[in-house]
Amino acid sequence: MKTRPFKQVDVFTDLPYFGNPLAVVLDGGGLDDATMQRFAQWTNLSETTFVLPPTEPSADYRVRIFTPGGELPFAGHPTLGTCHAWLQAGGKPKRTDLIVQQCQVGLVNIRREGPRQAFAAPPLKRSAPGPVALAQVAGALGLKAQQILAAQLLDNGPVWLGLLLDSADTVLQLQPDHAALKKYDLKVGVAGAHQAQTAPLLIARANREARAFSGSTHAGRAETPTADFEVRAFAAPIGINEDPVTGSLNASLAQWLMAEGHAPDHYVVAQGTCLGRAGRVHLSRESAGGTSIVWVGGESVTCIAGTVTL
Q: What is the mean pLDDT of residues 292-309?
A: 97
For the chain, the average pLDDT equals 90
Q: Please tell me the least confidently modeled range out of 76-80, 154-158, 276-280, 300-304.
A: 154-158
What are the strands, taking DSSP E only, across 156-299?
159-165, 188-193, 229-235, 240-243, 266-271, 279-288, 291-298
The model's pTM: 0.88
Q: Please tell me the least confidently modeled range out of 98-112, 222-236, 277-291.
A: 222-236
- Residue-level pLDDT at 171: 98
Share above pLDDT 90 across residues of the chain, in percent, rounded to a whole number: 82
pLDDT tens sequence across 192-207: 999 743 333 443 333 3
Structural domains of the chain, ranges and CATH numbers in brackets: 3-118+299-309 (3.10.310.10), 125-297 (3.10.310.10)
pLDDT tens sequence across 56-101: 999 999 999 999 889 999 999 999 999 999 999 999 999 999 999 9
Q: What is the torsion angle, in degrees rounded to the nearest 10, for the CA atoms of residue 279, residue 301, residue 299 and residue 281?
A: -20
Beta bridge partners of 25: 6, 50
Instruction: Judge whether 152 and 128 are in contact, CB under 8 Å.
Output: yes
Q: Please tell me the least confidently modeled range out of 86-90, 171-175, 208-212.
A: 208-212
**Which residues does the annotation mark as catalytic?**
47
Instruction: Judge whether 299 and 289 are in contact, CB under 8 Å.
Output: no
The long-range contacts involving 216-219, CB below 8 angstroms and separated by at least 24 positions, are 218/15, 218/18, 218/278, 219/15
Tell me the residue length of the chain.
310
- Residue-level pLDDT at 288: 74
